[in-house]
Amino acid sequence: MLQLDLTNAIKGLKKAKAKNIFLQIPEGLKTKTEEIVNELEENGLNVITAMDPCYGACDIKQTEAKKMGCDAILHLGHTKFVEKNSIPIIYAPLKYNLGERFERITKIITEYLIDEKINEVGLTTTAQFLNYLPLLKKELEKEGIKSVIGKGKRVEDGQVLGCNYSSAQVSAKTIIYLGDGLFHPLGIHFSTQKNVIIANPLTLEIKTLDEEKDKFIRQRILLIERAKNAKDYAILITTKEGQNRITEALKIKKDLEKNGKKVKIYSMDFISQESLLGINAESYINTACPRISIDDYFNYKKPIINYTEVDYLIGKKNYDEYKLAIIY
Ligand code: SF4
């Protein structure tokens, strides 16, 4: 059901008069690399494929593309995120074709909202289901449910990313998340403090976040408290364009030092436990993608927290006001 349509991307590349393409493919699509390259070559393009891991549109390899003599980047699977380009970047997002599942999930959402007497909602989703949001809005409004698709900053309207919930900042008290997984709905809740309803168009399930949000906050507090015991910290910065936060890293270094901690800053492209071997710090502060310290924290031998969580660690904020990073 996930579809990648290269037609518009090829048109965009031709319009940009690009001949030599630097291709970035997300991990989930790597097995289709040869097929994709064949299609591009059949359209007269020369392709160099980047094989380093690529998890988001924040990871645009402009320097590498130019080093390889390429005149454009084709970035698959994500929507535009990085604003300053020194080389044309064409995006080809992956999109779900839900077929009749869309009607079914719309009916499930409508019935749920009517039962719960909710008459105003904000609508959010990820890039893969984005084309369904205006249709969902239309259907809900037919039933008298006011539906708002919030303005996105650096993302499409209604779109959420693990590091960007700008489009969820709407006046409605309830936010519908059309999609799968828990990470984004948790992010919406902890960046807006609103009720989030997950409507999964793949499994046709609808549910609230009640249990998960309590479990999530308990995990975060536990991790931050473990990190608090450390005396030596490693602040991790990535060189990835859309995730680089040197200014924040320097500020956090000062904040921690004022609190009697020892701090060193380490830079790398891909942050992983392996890249940190040999470092004796007792805790890591991640300034790159927030998912590293949320989805993957158990892969690290020392407690790893997000830079936005340092204020809880040094007692500047208390856990009642816990918010996930919103970067835009
Ligand atoms: S920083 Fe992380 S969540 Fe944000 S776009 Fe990049 S990969 Fe996605």
Q: Are residue 140 and residue 186 in the same domain, yes or no?
A: yes
Range with lowest mean pLDDT among 60-69, 113-122, 260-269, 315-324? 315-324
Length, in residues, of the chain: 328
- Give the model's confidence band at 158: pLDDT under 50 very low, under 70 low, under 90 confident, else very high: very high
Cα distances (angstroms) measured from residue 197 to each of 110, 122, 206, 209? 12, 10, 7, 7
If you take atom 7 of ligand 1, which residue's CA is the nearest one? 56
Of 208, 231, 257, the residue at which a domain comes to its end is 208
- Specify if 39 maps to a domain: yes
Mean pLDDT of 16-29: 95
**Ligand 1 centre distance from Cα of residue 77 (Å):** 12
Cα distances (angstroms) measured from residue 123 to each of 78, 160, 161, 197, 281? 19, 10, 14, 10, 42
Please tell me the predicted confidence (pLDDT) of residue 327. 58
If you take atom 3 of ligand 1, which residue's CA is the nearest one? 162
Task: List the structure tokens of 249.
Answer: 């890293």
Q: Are residue 124 and residue 82 in the same domain, yes or no?
A: no
Task: List the structure tokens of 132.
Answer: 């369904």
- Specify if 41 maps to a domain: yes
If you take atom 8 of ligand 1, which residue's CA is the nearest one? 56
- Specify if 327 maps to a domain: no
**Ligand 1 centre distance from Cα of residue 128 (Å):** 15
**Ligand 1 centre distance from Cα of residue 156 (Å):** 14
Cα distances (angstroms) measured from residue 24 to each of 4, 29, 92? 14, 10, 10
Instruction: Specify the 3-state DSSP secondary structure of 148.
Output: strand
Q: Are residue 193 and residue 229 in the same domain, yes or no?
A: no
**Ligand 1 centre distance from Cα of residue 161 (Å):** 6
Residue 328 has pLDDT above 60, yes or no: no
- Specify if 328 maps to a domain: no
- Specify if 133 maps to a domain: yes
What is the bridge-based pairing of β-strands 94-96 and 2-4? Answer: antiparallel
CB 290 within 8 A of CB 243: no
Cα distances (angstroms) measured from residue 272 to each of 66, 121, 236, 267, 328? 26, 38, 10, 12, 24
| Number of folded domains that form the chain | 3
If you take atom 2 of ligand 1, which residue's CA is the nearest one? 289
Of 38, 71, 96, the residue at which a domain comes to its end is 96
Return the ligand 1 atom nearest residue 288 CA.
1
pLDDT digit string, tens, across residues 163-217: 999 999 999 999 999 999 999 999 999 999 999 999 999 999 999 998 899 999 9
Q: Which domain covers residue 308, as residue numbers?
A: 214-321
If you take atom 1 of ligand 1, which residue's CA is the nearest one? 289
Residue 325 has pLDDT above 80, yes or no: no
**Ligand 1 centre distance from Cα of residue 144 (Å):** 35
Radius of gyration, alpha carbons of the chain: 21
Please tell me the predicted confidence (pLDDT) of residue 82. 80
pLDDT digit string, tens, across residues 120-154: 999 999 999 999 999 999 999 999 999 999 999 98
Give the domain CATH number at 157. 3.40.50.11850
pLDDT digit string, tens, across residues 47-61: 999 999 898 989 999
**Ligand 1 centre distance from Cα of residue 239 (Å):** 14
Please tell me the predicted confidence (pLDDT) of residue 1. 76
Give the domain CATH number at 248. 3.40.50.11860
What residue type is 20 in one-letter code?
A: N
Q: Are residue 165 and residue 243 in the same domain, yes or no?
A: no
Cα distances (angstroms) measured from residue 266 to each of 224, 233, 288? 20, 10, 12
Which alpha helices (DSSP H) does the chain contain, by range? 7-15, 33-42, 62-67, 101-115, 133-142, 183-192, 210-228, 246-258, 290-294, 310-313
Q: What is the DSSP string of 57-104?
A: TT---HHHHHHTT-SEEEEESS-------SS-EEEE-EEE--TTHHHH
Task: Please provide the average confidence, as pLDDT, over all residues in the chain.
Answer: 95
**Ligand 1 centre distance from Cα of residue 265 (Å):** 21
CA proximity to 58, closest of 157, 150, 127? 127
Of 96, 128, 152, the residue at which a domain comes to its end is 96
Cβ < 6 A, ligand 1 pocket = 55-58, 81, 161-163, 242-243, 289, 291
Q: Are residue 201 and residue 242 in the same domain, yes or no?
A: no
- Out of 27, 52, 54, 58, mutate this one to test ligand 1's pocket (max ligand atoms within 8 Å of CB): namely 58
**Ligand 1 centre distance from Cα of residue 90 (Å):** 18
Return the ligand 1 atom nearest residue 292 CA.
2
- Specify if 37 maps to a domain: yes
